[in-house]
Structure 1
Amino acid sequence: MTTDSSDSDDALLVRVGRGEPQAMREMVARKLPRMVALGVRFLGRRSEAEEVAQEVFLRVWKQAADWQPGQARFDTWLHRVAMNLCYDRLRGRHDEATDDALDDAPDPGPAPDEALQAAQRGARLAAALKALPTRQREALVLQYYQELSNQEAATVMGVTVEALESLLSRARRALRAQLQPGGDLRNEKP
């Protein structure tokens, strides 16, 4: 993200801290899609991801007045809160089957066979991501899906950039190994 977006996040957060409902609506409109996407990638269930996002924004509303600009980037804090809430939910699970893991599958267009193939690729990729060790999956999701820089992702995870790059390298190797038999996902974004 650019500095301009950080500055506008800080300004918006000040308004949220003053209790301005319109500022909170703007914050939700700006950040909700990324928080839900993060939750879906970790939890595999859109409904749970939406609940996590709701809790994230409740915490923003409650803690905005105490925010200290300059101590940490708001986006970094926001991602960390969302990931912690996802981990809390994952710890509470008992290997239940996911009911809407494919909600995030891309819409390939009008051809039904293309839609089926895209859904199958999405399911394979989701299963391969789920099979990764937690820290490797976290690194991939933050960098590829949340589009954070290596420095930002490392900060969210509480590791060095070198440690993040090591996690990413191991995760990519593991995904290639898991997805190679079909061969059709090797060139897709992990």
Structure 2
Amino acid sequence: MARDHAAATDEALIAWSAGGDRPAFNALAARHLPRLHALAQRITGSAAEAEEIAQEALLRAWQQAARFDPGRARFGTWLYRIAANLAIDAARRRPAAAMLAVHDLADSLADPGLTPEDSLALRQQDAALQAALAALPERQRAALALAHDQGLSGAEAAAILDTSERAVEGLLHRARRFLAARLAALG
């Protein structure tokens, strides 16, 4: 009987993957790779490192597919926990200054109608934001990435970070307060 990988749930795909169904896992990878990469990039600040982390998270998911328990968590929560932990570990292994290598948002949003002064101001604002994000502790960056970049609920972010919703709220509150203070100090 042919399986409809495109219409199957993540939980069905990982169960099929546990039985050796590579096309099922390929469908999972295609669904989740962009978000895994975005999450890892926000935490580490490096597109290249994020690519490696996303691939490693998928490799681990493939290797551990038989151990996934849908009664304990959704597949996405399980997979993003793997990626978040890998990214946090990677970010802890290097100095915060390395986070400043993050892509320049101002260049990607450049408006050809902007004056050179406005364009410079936008680049300076982006650099200040990237520097402030780089100075955050890894778990606060992870909480911001999960809640804001990925749009996950507090419960989902808590499950991924293996903590309580209240702890995630605390991480987000401290991160926002730190960013606001850091950016306000810069004007």
Find 2:129's aligned residue among 122, 125, 129: 125
What count of residue pairs does the alignment treat as equivalent? 177
Q: Hey, what does 1:150 align to over in structure 2?
A: 154
C-alpha displacement at 1:136, in angstroms? 2.2
Instruction: Summarize the Cα distance change of 1:104–1:33 in structure 2 as closer, same or farther, 3 Å threshold.
Output: farther
1:173 aligns with 2:174: no
Q: Aligned partners of 1:109 and 1:129: how far apart in 2?
A: 21
Q: 141-150 vs 47-56, which deviates more?
A: 141-150
What is the Cα deviation at residue 15 of structure 1? 2.2
Instruction: Give matches, 1:28-67, under 5 Å.
Output: 28-67=29-68
Could you tell me which residue of structure 2 aligns to residue 90 of structure 1? 91
Within a 5 Å distance, the mapping from 1:13-28 to structure 2 comes to: 13-28=14-29
Structure 2 residue matching 1:180: 3-state secondary structure: helix
Distance 1:122 1:177, change over 3 A: same
Q: Is the 8 A contact 1:46 1:100 kept in 2?
A: no
CA distance in 2, matches of 1:83, 1:105: 26
Unpaired runs of 5+ in structure 2?
1-7
- State the Cα RMSD in Å: 2.5
Task: Calculate percent identity across the aligned residue pairs.
Answer: 45
CA distance, structure 1, for counterparts of residue 180 and residue 140 of structure 2: 13
Q: 1:146, CA displacement in angstroms?
A: 1.6
CA contact (8 A) 2:88 2:142 kept: no
After superposition, the C-alpha distances for 1:35-57 in whole angstroms (9 at most, x for unaligned) are 11111111111001000011011
How far does residue 116 in structure 1 lie from its aligned partner after superposition?
5.2
Q: Which runs of 5+ in 1 are unaligned?
A: 1-6, 184-190
- Whole-Å Cα distance in 1 between the matches of residues 172 and 150 of structure 2? 14
Q: TM-score, normalised by structure 1?
A: 0.80
Q: Is the 8 A contact 1:39 1:53 kept in 2?
A: yes
Q: Following the alignment from structure 2 to structure 1, what is the Cα–Cα distance between the partners of residues 172 and 127?
A: 21
Q: Which is higher, the Rg of structure 1 or of structure 2?
A: 2
Inter-CA distance 118–18: structure 2 relative to 1 (3 Å threshold):
farther
